A and B are shown apart, each in its own frame.
Chain A
Amino acid sequence: MERIYLDHGATTPPHAEVVEAMLPYYRQYFGNPSSVHSFGREARRALDESREKTALALGAAPEEIIFTSGGTEANNLAIQGVIESLSHKGSHMITSAVEHHAVLDTMNKMSQKGCSLTVLPVDRCGMVDPHELKKAIRDDSVLVSIMTANNEIGTIQPVMELAAICREKGVLFHTDAVQAIGNIPLNLKEVPIDFLSLSAHKLYGPKGIGALFIRKGTKLGKLMFGGGQERKLRPGTENLPAIVGLAKAIEMATADIPGKSKAVAALRDRMIEKLLEKIDAIQLNGHPEHRLPGNVNISVKFVEGESLLLDLDLKGVAASSGSACTSGSLEASHVLMACGMDQQTAHGSLRLTLGHGNTAEEVDYTVATLKDSVERLRGMSSLYRDYRRQVEKKRNIGEEKTCTTKK
């Protein structure tokens, strides 16, 4: 059976060129970049070049890039690091309700330890309102962390505006750009971001490697203690093959973003349009316009998400869901709930994230397959029967509210 991968939000297949670029650093160039001898110097050269490439892709300077073990560590380092370095100024932090757990849980831990925390709400489409941010900033605020784009519903935040507000008020701004880099253009020369987290495996690179951008002149505490690597902010012998892979991946991912995004967005729009046309009682989650090019997130009413995922998987389609039943904790996705969704609608949520390898045929096959799966599962769902009976009585399906559309 041919399988269709529609879970690029979870991870992406590494490019062949990326894997090729990494292999020599597992074989002949195995030296430790800190060693004085020629083996070490070869490794050091590759490390320096990788940092330069990564910086160039972001519009940053090489000394502003710290390699980490991934997005999670980059987020932790930024948040915990600021709390430590700015404890004399204050300990109030601001974030949004739709952040990844690597941000939210870190912030919550900090607040248990005595920091104060403001979690900004979002609108139905998952957008933060810059006015809310302005109001939330206090004299003792030290850090604002708001993601560039959401991993579940794909909503792109007005980061330019949010960063500018923080700069004006003299508060540091961090953004989790793990889902954004390579999908939307972002130049750190133009946006006053102080910290930015990224992860290689979301941009066709290897897993277990990421980076934190730290704007020049910004002080940061550290999480770990040890050697002098990564300006002492991230001690430990560097994972050089992965770093080389990250550099290659980000170089490729940031070349011609508009062209590549347009192709993926066309597939996304084709899928959304066909789904809404072919399946009744479904809704699109997230923002209609400000969304990642590969993100489709729908709620299929009267069907539970895990059973939908299983059925799709049996037919070769790989997707994900924010249903309570798919999470170990049996709680529906905090992102969908923050958008004001009711439990039952969150239950039937399905995320299909497209990538560069997907085709229009795959989109069409997926829509047809999904339609079959939905019909099969609805056939067993008592809720759907009740709904059909109601519809037959009076045709009125759900309410439509509009979203704030921001540039």
Chain B
Amino acid sequence: MYNKKVMDHFQNPRNAGEMLKPSGVGEVGNMKCGDIMKIFIKVEDGRIEDINFLTFGCGAAIASSSMLTELVKGKTLEEALKITNTDVAENLGGLPDAKLHCSNLAADALHKAIEDYQSNNPSA
């Protein structure tokens, strides 16, 4: 059902866990199946220095969260905001059609985390 890359990210997720003092947090829930994804970011000098995720969801949701954190780490906020849902799925080498909505959660949660950071730091 899932390709090797997806299974690798599922089995060995990158950056899973909670962040103690995040600069921004974004949480999104999936209306379709009830899954929840939470992204924590640490921003320094306009760059996402660290990122973590917590996900309650299917294999594709976990792999997408993991892939997103890899794509985002070290990027500027501007660059990070350009990351789309399709980027996550493409970097995973594709997902089954029924699972595309799971990868959407990841980018949405990231965008929310960035918004959260920006509202906490209006000057930034």
B81 at the interface (CB under 8 A from A): no
- Contact assessment for B36 and A383 in the assembled complex, using a CB-CB cutoff below 8 Å: yes
State the majority secondary structure of interface residues on A: helix
Given the interface pairs A328-B98, A344-B34, the reply to whether A310 lies near B10 with Cβ below 8 Å is: yes
Which residues does chain A contribute within 8 Å of B27, judged by CB atoms? 382
Which chain A residues (303-335) contact chain B, with CB distance < 8 Å?
303-304, 306-307, 310-311, 314, 323-326, 328, 330, 332
A347 at the interface (CB under 8 A from B): yes
**Of the candidates B17, B59, B98, which one forms a contact with A307 in the assembled complex, judged by CB atoms under 8 Å apart?**
B59
Identity of the chain A residue whose Cβ is nearest the Cβ of B62 in the assembled complex: A307
Which chain A residues (377-397) contact chain B, with CB distance < 8 Å?
377, 379-385
- Contact assessment for B16 and A379 in the assembled complex, using a CB-CB cutoff below 8 Å: yes
Interface string of B24-68 (1 = CB under 8 A from A): 000100001111111000000000000001111111011000000
State the majority secondary structure of interface residues on B: mixed
Q: How far is the CA of A311 from the CA of B10 in the complex (A)?
A: 9
Q: How far is the CA of A384 from the CA of B18 in the complex (A)?
A: 12
- Contact assessment for B59 and A303 in the assembled complex, using a CB-CB cutoff below 8 Å: no
Q: How far is the CA of A314 from the CA of B8 in the complex (A)?
A: 11
- Contact assessment for B62 and A380 in the assembled complex, using a CB-CB cutoff below 8 Å: yes
Measured CB to CB, the closest approach of chain B to A149, in angstroms, equals 28
- Contact assessment for B35 and A325 in the assembled complex, using a CB-CB cutoff below 8 Å: yes
- Contact assessment for B17 and A380 in the assembled complex, using a CB-CB cutoff below 8 Å: yes
Q: How far is the CA of A45 from the CA of B7 in the complex (A)?
A: 52
B3 at the interface (CB under 8 A from A): no
Measured CB to CB, the closest approach of chain B to A388, in angstroms, equals 11
Q: How far is the CA of A324 from the CA of B10 in the complex (A)?
A: 19
Which residues does chain A contribute within 8 Å of B2, judged by CB atoms? 310
Which chain A residues (145-160) contact chain B, with CB distance < 8 Å?
none
Additional pairs, 19, CB under 8 Å, beyond known A302-B56, A325-B61, A379-B16: A304-B35, A304-B56, A306-B59, A307-B59, A310-B2, A310-B7, A310-B10, A324-B32, A324-B33, A324-B34, A330-B32, A330-B33, A332-B34, A380-B16, A380-B56, A382-B18, A382-B36, A383-B36, A385-B18
